[in-house]
Amino acid sequence: MARFRNPVPEAVEALRAELAGGSRAELIPEVQLLSDLLEARAERLRPKEEPERELLAAIPDAAALVGKNGRVRAANVAADALAADGRAAGLTALELTRSAELSEAVQRALEGSSRKLELQLPGGRQTLVAHLTPLLRGEVLLILRDVTREREAERARRDLVANASHELRTPVTAIHGAAETLLGGALAEPEQARHFVEMIARHADRLARLTRDLLDLSRIESGQWAMNVGPLDVVPLARNLLDLYAAPAAERRLALGSALPEALRVQADARALEQILVNLVENAIKYTPAGGAVTLSGAAEGPSVTLAVTDTGPGIDKHHLPRLFERFYRADAGRGRDQGGTGLGLAIVKHLAHAQGGAVGVESGAGGSRFWVRLPAAD
């Protein structure tokens, strides 16, 4: 390596003086040329991966450069997050994602074929759309876009349409059949006519409730249910609710009671909280056998208040509990429809609670069920 003596020590001293706060140093052309050459040399010695990493970092999705040997040479933070040890560099596509399908696609891309595929990572934890683009120097740009939430939303929409269609079919079919029977001659027979008119009225009422619940759920999920959250006394609201359901409970020979502390206050929207308790109390009355009891209770628990509706019904099998708050899910589908339920009440409870910063849950056993909602306590 050639070594040179500094031909201009005066320039060095002048630069030191300038950096120490003195006046600007005037450099001779030879020194300026030396500065330019040193800068060019530093640029050449800079690691080649640095600009590539900058480009990869600008991509919002997981992105990586796969070398000719099939291993990741450079990756951004999102791609590193896919690796078990938090570092994608040096791993193959199979080691990074445990997807044999992606590994094969990388091999095809290294051979020069652009690829796009959708894959689900083992365990169903993520759904990714992979774009593989061959580069001129024989490497591959791999971009993995996480579409898990999009696919879940699509599945939820499909399920909603399918379930709503299924729920609507029963009352529509019953109304249509009853109307045809009446038009076919049953109008001339008062007893039969009354039976079919009552059937039409009953199923029309169910259609109205189903439509109302669907609209409510849609408004809650889209944020169109205007929340007016503030301090709220629970006891007066609960008293009105129990008065409302006193007659239906007495008709079914149920003891409807309350165990709420007088000073219980929550931070909630009055209309939303009333809807939550209406759905829970209504459900409890429907599924509790004659001679049983339904109790509305509550307690302050630090920064939260838990309100619960407990019944003495037959209980719910454990395998149903995790799904009870899903739209249209019923532990006993036939019985739920017979009782006039729409299958949306508990889903509405969940979404209203979440919209107010709360949570919901259920415990059930042979002695009955306890549905609870937890909301922030009012100061």
Domain count, the chain: 4
Report the run of H or E that residue 313 belongs to, with start and end.
none
Mean pLDDT, consecutive 10-residue segments, the chain of 379 residues?
Answer: 54 76 74 72 58 83 92 92 90 91 92 89 83 90 91 76 73 85 84 86 81 76 78 92 91 92 90 90 91 93 92 90 83 53 82 91 90 90
Which residue do the tokens 């580069």 mark? Answer: 135
Residue 4 resides in a domain: no
Give the domain extent around 339. 230-376
Helices and strands (DSSP H and E) totals, the chain: 13, 12
Distance from C-alpha of 346 to C-alpha of 109, rounded to nearest angstrom: 49
Are 256 and 331 part of one and the same domain? yes
pLDDT value for 372: 94
pLDDT value for 334: 45
* Vertex 262: Cα angle to 256 and 265 (nearest 5): 105
pLDDT value for 8: 58
Go through the chain and tell me how many residues it has.
379
- Would residue 308 be called left, alpha or beta, if left means φ above 0 and alpha means ψ between -120 and 50 degrees? beta
Residue 3 resides in a domain: no
Please check whether residue 324 is in contact with residue 362, taking contact to mean a CB–CB distance below 8 angstroms: yes
Residues 18-65 have pLDDT tens digits of 777 777 777 677 777 777 777 667 656 555 556 777 788 889 999 999
Please check whether residue 297 is in contact with residue 257, taking contact to mean a CB–CB distance below 8 angstroms: no
Are 117 and 139 part of one and the same domain? yes
In this structure, which amino acid lies at residue 79? A
Could you tell me the CATH number of the domain that includes residue 215?
Answer: 1.10.287.130
Domain-ending residue, one of 111, 146, 181: 146
Residue 90 CB partners (closer than 8 Å, separation 6+): 71, 72
Could you tell me the CATH number of the domain that includes residue 299?
Answer: 3.30.565.10
Are 316 and 238 part of one and the same domain? yes
Are 159 and 297 part of one and the same domain? no
Are 305 and 329 part of one and the same domain? yes
Residue 324 resides in a domain: yes
